[in-house]
A and B are shown apart, each in its own frame.
Chain A
Amino acid sequence: MTLLKEPDFGTPARPGAATVELTVDGVAVRVPPGTSVLRAAKEAGVDVPKLCATDNLEAFGSCRLCVVEIDGVRGTPASCTTPVAAGMVVRTQNERLGKLRRGVMELYISDHPLDCLTCSANGDCELQDMAGVTGLREVRYGSGVDAGANHLDLPTDSSNPYFDFEASKCIACSRCVRACDEVQGTLALTIEGRGFDSKVAAGAGGSFFDSDCVSCGACVQACPTATLQEKSVVELGMPTRTVLTTCAYCGVGCSFKAELRGDELVRMVPYKNGGANEGHSCVKGRFAFGYASHPDRVLEPMVRDKISDPWRTVSWPEAISFTARRLREIQAAHGQGSIGAITSSRTTNEEVYAVQKLVRAVFGNNNVDTCARVCHSPTGYGLKQTFGESAGTQDFRSVDESDVILVIGSNPTDAHPVFGSRMKQRIRQGAKLIVIDPRRIDLVRTPHVEAAYHLELRPGTNVAIVNALAHVVVTEGLVDREFVASRCEDFEAWETFIAQPEHSPEAVADICGVPADKIRAAARLYATGGNAAIYYGLGVTEHSQGSTMVMGMANLAMATGNIGRPGVGVNPMRGQNNVQGSCDMGSFPHELPGYRHVSNDDVREIYEQLWGTPILNEPGLRIPNMFDAAIDGSFKALFVQGEDIAQSDPNTQHVFAALGALELLVVQDLFVNETAKFAHVLLPGTSFLEKDGTFTNAERRINRVRPIMAPRTGKQEWEIICEIAQAMGYPMQYESAARIMDEIALTTPTFTGVSFDRLDELGSIQWPCDVDHPEGTPIMHSAEFTRGKGRFMETVYVPTSERSTRKFPLILTTGRILSQYNVGAQTRRTANVAWHSEDVLELHPHDAEVRGVTDGDLIALSSRVGRTELRAKISDRMPVGVCYTTFHHPVSGANVVTTDNSDWATNCPEYKVTAVQVDLVPTSVAAVPEVVVAGGK
């Protein structure tokens, strides 16, 4: 693919039918009402010169280049700010207009350094382009240093790790300022001064790094000159080719243009036609790709007999044969069920599918689980029980039609920033926001966004509060009776249950710590405010009642009729890029691809026929069960695909004990991570820049991941899996990742219509995609639920057994931060560490004061199961009695203190509720956390 320049229509598209006809340079064109003349001209095939206009921003009308003549209209109006009218006759080019534009360009150029040949934007500069288009040949006012007053001596701000602000090249078009407002919603940039003194400033005029800038890159993308430019472009030069691919960070699944020179990745630019992101990005996807070429990458396989031995670098055949031989030996000695695998949400659907096939067809058991176990397994369970499908109901675009947005246990601006921006824009347009979270997350109050209600509940009381919301709906006559009667079942029993006084806001107020009247008001708003949508995250699922809470939210949505159309729904915010896909691909131990239970004879027969081998009809071990079984001696070998379970899973000492007890641990990863320290085999993996396959995002959108370079290890990860299978005696072979997808489509009803060719044609597809939905399904459960009738489930509030005591008086919750991702394996190997170089513990000033802790102090964090040390951050966004940290850095290792508690239905760990104590560490004590030494085998 060559350099992909997306057409720019100058102003945003307007919704509705194209009913207004006008003529542009003699060409008739029909557009929706409200469309600008500039856009209509582009749609008629006429490019009008422009500088301040671009189609992801509202018209601004400042540059005066897009002037046109319109019959019956005096003067030369700016075509970007002039809406079309029926019968309008427009001329975009003649001598008069040309002269005007050249005049404008002369003024711009007179205050611009004419260093085009050495400029970093050479070849990608709209100012340069417009000088050419307008036929500028001379500048009567002089130029550069020969001109009069100018801005050529303004300094360059290089404070941001990823881009420079070269103020001397700024033409003050405000595109960056408007992008920060209209696209990102952060409003970190402004125009400072007036008239000739106007200049772009970050915040109050400090550096970009010290401002509110979130480094999403929207300003860089919007800049028509070299003023805001990626440092990578400054250093390497302009890219020469583009490959369209998908970000490998969070579950938003942004489409990016990987722009390269040869095989050298220069920059990642968000793709305007990307279904999930529509041209927007965040600091991770946009800039944090350097980990792929980091020197820590392992590129050759390594093996060792005991984990106390040094690694031996070996050839691929030796690594494959060692792995296959040891797996078979262990099975021979300890039984067929003594081995298993964990798949990764950071790998492609095809790679996950290959691993679960390896387990089922070659290992001969169902001991395969995925890292979604520890994040969104309650989503799969809860939504399957109530709606019949283990997935969120809406596309991201749906939020544009929400009138009430209920955010529970999710921090979109940090964890899903591109969608968070979209949500903020909708709230700024007037949608009401309810936030249910112990912390005052940014969304509660940020520029031009303020939650109508923030229910600051105590950690662990989600179910009590969702029941109270439903209680209000039922007892105050707010049920959508028609929807419930026609679309749902088991309502009467649920209505009786939820109407019980124990679920009233007054009864649960003391449990949750939220005043009853606030709960009532929020419930009324949700039920009566128009289209109401629920967005939730790990603050819902990672509890001992995570599945109950998911069902509670589904009940609430059904009771109020908020399912089955744009603007409503129940939407899990998936943490990693392919959480949805890894679940879809059958990597839960009780489900084959498409969430079909292994006991289903008809489904097993499909795979048994195709794979030519029997499939066990009993569920296998989940991840926590694998750890327990490893410790009790019945589970001996584990293949871990791209996950760092030693850092990410709860109760680190327990995980270490399990890993240390294994006879064989095979890790497939980019780096020697914490888990690999216990491994006997390290099979180097491919980064997303080398992968060929698909990711499925939080809105069920299947996106292509295209390789921009050959695998640096020489092999795709699915090829390695196939080779292990072959070495174990099973003929597993594919020509390409596309053929794996063909097999997925052949065997999985919801993927019937999916293929690489179809994805290339449509861009992306939201499953289900079948004969009835050939282009996918953006909104689920429109006419009926997947299971037929939506089912109301009784959701009893059973408090967690984890309690605060005098010894452990605080409750710890964990989460994410914008600049880092998951265990930090990727982002810690990028310049993102400039923002978050270590995990810190946030706690309320009161809790800090009574412990004598001040900001930045080293503190000891201890729970019933472990202890670690990290720095304190005093923050009044924390409620009293609750503290918070991230788990991005292995040095602090927050999971040293988290417990074995888990969701009753799925074993999803209860990361969000750990009773802890915080003590000041005397400055004389070394700040090195204790290291648990693994046993050698």
Chain B
Amino acid sequence: MSSGVPPYVRLANEIAAQFAHRAPAEAATAIANHLRVTWDPRMKSALIEYARSGGPDLAPAAAQAAHHLQAGS
């Protein structure tokens, strides 16, 4: 549904919800791995940029995953 949140943010948050039961660091790594394997570069870049600029609607684990992507870790 259109909620004003960019699609890549909504998708990242949905992935993050699936890993919410894990420890934060572990969840962030799992999310980043999933994004790395399945997402187009422009979506990854957009997510990284969104997280870097504060990312108000991004779940914490998804934001951490974006940092992993940026760092290449």
- Which of chain A's residues has its CB closest to B40's CB? A621
Pairwise interchain contact A589-B40, C-beta atoms closer than 8 A: yes
For the complex, give the distance between the alpha carbons of A900 and B1 in Å.
Answer: 5
Interface string of B1-27 (1 = CB under 8 A from A): 110000110110011011011000000
For the complex, give the distance between the alpha carbons of A865 and B1 in Å.
Answer: 7
Pairwise interchain contact B18-A625, C-beta atoms closer than 8 A: no
For the complex, give the distance between the alpha carbons of A794 and B39 in Å.
Answer: 22
Pairwise interchain contact A618-B38, C-beta atoms closer than 8 A: no
Pairwise interchain contact A796-B38, C-beta atoms closer than 8 A: no
Count of residues in B whose CB is under 8 Å from the partner chain = 20
Pairwise interchain contact B15-A905, C-beta atoms closer than 8 A: yes
Pairwise interchain contact B1-A629, C-beta atoms closer than 8 A: no
Q: Determine whether B41 belongs to the interface, using a CB cutoff of 8 Å to chain A.
A: yes
Q: Determine whether B71 belongs to the interface, using a CB cutoff of 8 Å to chain A.
A: no
Pairwise interchain contact B40-A618, C-beta atoms closer than 8 A: yes
Interface residues in A852-905 by Cβ distance below 8 A to B read: 864-865, 899-902, 904-905
- Which of chain B's residues has its CB closest to A548's CB? B18
Interface of B is mostly: helix
For the complex, give the distance between the alpha carbons of A907 and B40 in Å.
Answer: 13
Interface string of A132-159 (1 = CB under 8 A from B): 0000000000000000000000000000
Contact partners of A628 in chain B: CB under 8 A? 7-8
Q: Which single member of A366, A367, A590, A899 contacts B37 (CB below 8 Å)?
A: A590
Pairwise interchain contact B1-A904, C-beta atoms closer than 8 A: no
Interface string of A360-378 (1 = CB under 8 A from B): 0000001100000000000
For the complex, give the distance between the alpha carbons of A794 and B1 in Å.
Answer: 28
Which of A597, A618, A628, A904: most chain B Cβ within 10 A?
A904
Q: Determine whether A337 belongs to the interface, using a CB cutoff of 8 Å to chain B.
A: yes
Give, as a whole number of angstroms, the nearest-CB distance from A529 to chain B: 32
For the complex, give the distance between the alpha carbons of A651 and B42 in Å.
Answer: 23
For the complex, give the distance between the alpha carbons of A796 and B39 in Å.
Answer: 22
- Which of chain B's residues has its CB closest to A627's CB? B7
For the complex, give the distance between the alpha carbons of A865 and B10 in Å.
Answer: 17
Measured as residues with beta carbon below 8 angstroms from the partner, the interface class of chain A is: 35 or more
Give, as a whole number of angstroms, the nearest-CB distance from B69 to chain A: 12
Pairwise interchain contact B20-A796, C-beta atoms closer than 8 A: yes
Pairwise interchain contact B15-A794, C-beta atoms closer than 8 A: no
Interface residues in A781-835 by Cβ distance below 8 A to B read: 794, 796, 798
Contact partners of A906 in chain B: CB under 8 A? 38
Give, as a whole number of angstroms, the nearest-CB distance from B5 to chain A: 11
Pairwise interchain contact A794-B42, C-beta atoms closer than 8 A: no
Pairwise interchain contact B37-A619, C-beta atoms closer than 8 A: yes
Q: Determine whether A654 belongs to the interface, using a CB cutoff of 8 Å to chain B.
A: yes
Interface string of A907-928 (1 = CB under 8 A from B): 1000000000000000000000
Q: Determine whether A620 belongs to the interface, using a CB cutoff of 8 Å to chain B.
A: yes
Q: Determine whether A587 belongs to the interface, using a CB cutoff of 8 Å to chain B.
A: no
Give, as a whole number of angstroms, the nearest-CB distance from A527 to chain B: 25
Pairwise interchain contact A796-B42, C-beta atoms closer than 8 A: no
Pairwise interchain contact B18-A798, C-beta atoms closer than 8 A: yes
For the complex, give the distance between the alpha carbons of A620 and B40 in Å.
Answer: 5
For the complex, give the distance between the alpha carbons of A628 and B6 in Å.
Answer: 9
Contact partners of B14 in chain A: CB under 8 A? 544, 902, 904
Contact partners of A625 in chain B: CB under 8 A? 7, 40, 43
Q: Determine whether A168 belongs to the interface, using a CB cutoff of 8 Å to chain B.
A: no
Pairwise interchain contact B40-A619, C-beta atoms closer than 8 A: yes
Q: Determine whether A76 belongs to the interface, using a CB cutoff of 8 Å to chain B.
A: no
Pairwise interchain contact A619-B2, C-beta atoms closer than 8 A: no
Q: Determine whether A634 belongs to the interface, using a CB cutoff of 8 Å to chain B.
A: yes
Pairwise interchain contact A590-B38, C-beta atoms closer than 8 A: yes
Interface string of B21-52 (1 = CB under 8 A from A): 10000000000001001111111000000000
For the complex, give the distance between the alpha carbons of A629 and B39 in Å.
Answer: 13
For the complex, give the distance between the alpha carbons of A618 and B69 in Å.
Answer: 13
For the complex, give the distance between the alpha carbons of A634 and B40 in Å.
Answer: 12
Interface residues in A588-635 by Cβ distance below 8 A to B read: 589-590, 597, 599, 618-622, 624-625, 628-629, 634
Which of A590, A597, A599, A651: most chain B Cβ within 10 A?
A590
Pairwise interchain contact A907-B11, C-beta atoms closer than 8 A: yes
Contact partners of B8 in chain A: CB under 8 A? 628
Which of B14, B18, B40: most chain A Cβ within 10 A?
B40
Contact partners of B21 in chain A: CB under 8 A? 794, 796
For the complex, give the distance between the alpha carbons of A796 and B2 in Å.
Answer: 26
For the complex, give the distance between the alpha carbons of A669 and B3 in Å.
Answer: 34
For the complex, give the distance between the alpha carbons of A337 and B14 in Å.
Answer: 25
Contact partners of B34 in chain A: CB under 8 A? 905
For the complex, give the distance between the alpha carbons of A654 and B2 in Å.
Answer: 9
Chain A residues proximal to chain B, CB less than 8 Å: 337, 366-367, 544-545, 548, 589-590, 597, 599, 618-622, 624-625, 628-629, 634, 651, 654, 794, 796, 798, 864-865, 899-902, 904-907
Chain B residues proximal to chain A, CB less than 8 Å: 1-2, 7-8, 10-11, 14-15, 17-18, 20-21, 34, 37-43
Known: A618-B41, A900-B1, A907-B11. 4 other contacts (CB 8 A): A597-B37, A619-B41, A794-B21, A796-B21
User: Could you write out 12 A-B pairs with CB less than 8 Å apart?
Assistant: A366-B40, A367-B40, A590-B37, A618-B41, A622-B40, A629-B42, A654-B2, A798-B20, A864-B1, A900-B10, A904-B14, A905-B34
Across the A-B interface, the 10 shortest Cβ-Cβ residue pairs: A628-B7, A904-B14, A621-B40, A618-B41, A798-B17, A904-B18, A796-B21, A899-B1, A904-B15, A900-B1
